[in-house]
Structure 1
């Protein structure tokens, strides 16, 4: 018998021995190997003339255990992520961490509590997302309280972070591991008609400032809505958020974000989309007017080359985009997206001229399902920047900027048992 079979059998016997008297126990084992090779020639930031491109292969190895019975769910997921060649052939560093470790208890009909390290994925992942594109993903240590009944859902998320166990010294949280010290989020989602869903969100985030002797917590609030309307072959999305309160450096915050997107499905093969996102920001303002998209999946929205928000960028942005998807056969899917980026304020170029246009990005992606649980994905992007991009992001807009990648995702469910 293979070692993997012995391990699976032992885990299943342990689960049955713990709760053998319960009905409808469910146990799962999922595994993932995701390998991605990337060619970077101006990704995240534009390159200067003469700079050489980079090439690497990263890898995610993940194993997840799930258990479920009446009124109880648990998940444990561990992963090792890194770049090929990063670890020695004889390796003792033990970089295998728990990326998820949570339990959910149903307290009453529709009411639950979920506690531990978990992804927070809400609406279109604009402000809270799983960031699955990143090799490590994104996870929070939090308590989630929820009520879900019929067509309506209400969640309350509470988080309080510390660097270590303390006996004295207050609650100063040295920034680093998590981007915030405290977080409280209230979210409502309701289906008000067969083709209309509305979400409301309020988030209060506490940022640590100062030092261990004179640390203070500054609070910034974000509130807004996400709407989805699906008449016939159309899918219409709209979002609007406003930020206020105080920044980390104790400045008054007043920023906003607006987004609109329309998708139309012509048939089972063709789909087109058009939309725009406007995120406020003016570096010359006395207030903090730059909208912060916080902990969302930025790679999903602002171009595949990640020039904005997924990398260093703290200014306003206006993104106009077009997209088309084609699925010629069930196993193949092709997508082409176009973005035109502008700032939300005037930028002065080296020649003294003012403007706002940053450039255009083209993103091409192809997906091929090799077999069940195995998918191959290829992508290529290029950014045609302007002289104003040089001011905002650096680099040289006259240099060719592009990015290519290929990813193989193997993600099978190894075991499903129910008794």
Structure 2
């Protein structure tokens, strides 16, 4: 639903300050396509070992936050209503402190990464929760995977463990690194590079199987064990030219009890197309997606049909601080009034925030 424009003096004001300290030679976790270089690693026999360190402090002050009149609306499943807002606030502030410490080891085609993360948040009002593991304070393994891979910027690989997975601009599947904890998935993932084509697939666990809450069982004889929630994806890419790349993105999410408060029991299927390209100083991307499926609601099952589209163009003339000018826009269908048995609100799966 479109909201009326608000006067300038009522517009929310947000001020964010951040400090990021990383080891220049070993900054953050190497990208999946990156390979350890002897000049950036400690050589221990046949192994190349790199320590990983990142410290981030971030402070935010919001005056009359959000366009809902100061109400902070928590994230929730796509079938939830907007009625579950937190109490309204005139001013909001918080300070986030996050540290990451780990190690990456590589020997020929073998590579392993372990990274621990501690995130703490102080403030008047807690930040929004965007992910199942985004509760704070949090101390856990953010990355823990092993892989076998080729060499080169576009390498074939097979990876098992907790890892970041990001597709395209992160509109459907992203690392969400600006959120308090970032996002990583427990998954098995592989990519096969054949000439100008990439074939990628993964299977991940969003919620582990476990006991079904008694109130969610079908009668007294209902199965006490539930399958949890899983996300699967297949991506096909064709690299035609620097200015023209075509990707087919396909996701399937299957959720059963037990779930968390961000997910309804459901089956969701998404297929999308992304066209993008770049040239020195210029880049663009066009993306569209359609999703279908079914969602369990108390007493019934609702079908789903929704779509979304986005486009962006960015020009960077080579100024200081990588300054540039860009235009982008996005649209997604919302819930249509009168559609009691059908969900038309688009579910972005696991987007960047």
Q: CA deviation at 1:122?
A: 1.1
C-alpha contact 1:107 1:113 (8 A) present in aligned 2: no
Task: Say how many residue pairs are matched.
Answer: 261
Query: What residue number does 1:136 align with?
Result: 181
CA RMSD of aligned residues (A): 3.4
Task: Select the structure with the greater relative contact order (CA < 8 A; seq sep ≥ 6).
Answer: 1
Query: What residue number does 1:80 align with?
Result: 118
Task: List aligned pairs for 1:103-142, cutoff 5 A.
Answer: 103-106=146-149, 111-142=156-187
Task: List aligned pairs for 1:211-360, cutoff 5 A.
Answer: 218-230=266-278, 233-249=281-297, 250-268=301-319, 271-284=324-337, 285-286=339-340, 287-297=342-352, 299=353
Q: CA deviation at 1:199?
A: 1.3
Which of 185, 189, 198 is the matching residue for 2:246? 198
Query: What residue number does 2:140 align with?
Result: 97
Task: Classify 1:46/1:78 alpha carbon distance in 2 versus 1 (closer, same or farther; 3 Å).
Answer: farther
Q: Secondary structure of 2:347's match?
A: coil
Give yes or no for the alignment of 1:61 onto 2:103: no
TM-score between the two structures when normalised by the length of structure 2: 0.65
Q: Secondary structure of 1:96's match?
A: strand
Q: CA deviation at 1:52?
A: 3.5
Q: CA deviation at 1:291?
A: 0.7
Task: Classify 1:189/1:170 alpha carbon distance in 2 versus 1 (closer, same or farther; 3 Å).
Answer: farther
In structure 2, how many angstroms separate the alpha carbons of the residues matched to 1:259 and 1:220?
A: 20
Task: Classify 1:63/1:231 alpha carbon distance in 2 versus 1 (closer, same or farther; 3 Å).
Answer: closer
The range that moved more, 151-160 or 54-63, is 151-160
Cα displacement string for residues 60-94 of structure 1 (whole angstroms, at most 9, x for unaligned residues): 011021011112111101011112489xxxxxxx9
TM-score between the two structures when normalised by the length of structure 1: 0.55
Which of 109, 128, 132 is the matching residue for 1:71? 109
C-alpha contact 1:208 1:248 (8 A) present in aligned 2: no
Task: Classify 1:38/1:231 alpha carbon distance in 2 versus 1 (closer, same or farther; 3 Å).
Answer: closer
Which of 193, 197, 220 is the matching residue for 1:152? 197
Structure (1 or 2) with the larger CA radius of gyration = 1
The range that moved more, 153-162 or 263-272, is 263-272
Long gaps (5+) in structure 2: 1-42, 72-86, 125-136, 213-221
Cα displacement string for residues 93-130 of structure 1 (whole angstroms, at most 9, x for unaligned residues): x9531111111124999643211111111111111111
In structure 1, how many angstroms separate the alpha carbons of the residues matched to 2:70 and 2:151?
A: 56
Query: What residue number does 1:183 align with?
Result: 231
Give yes or no for the alignment of 1:27 onto 2:49: yes
Query: What residue number does 2:129 align with?
Result: none
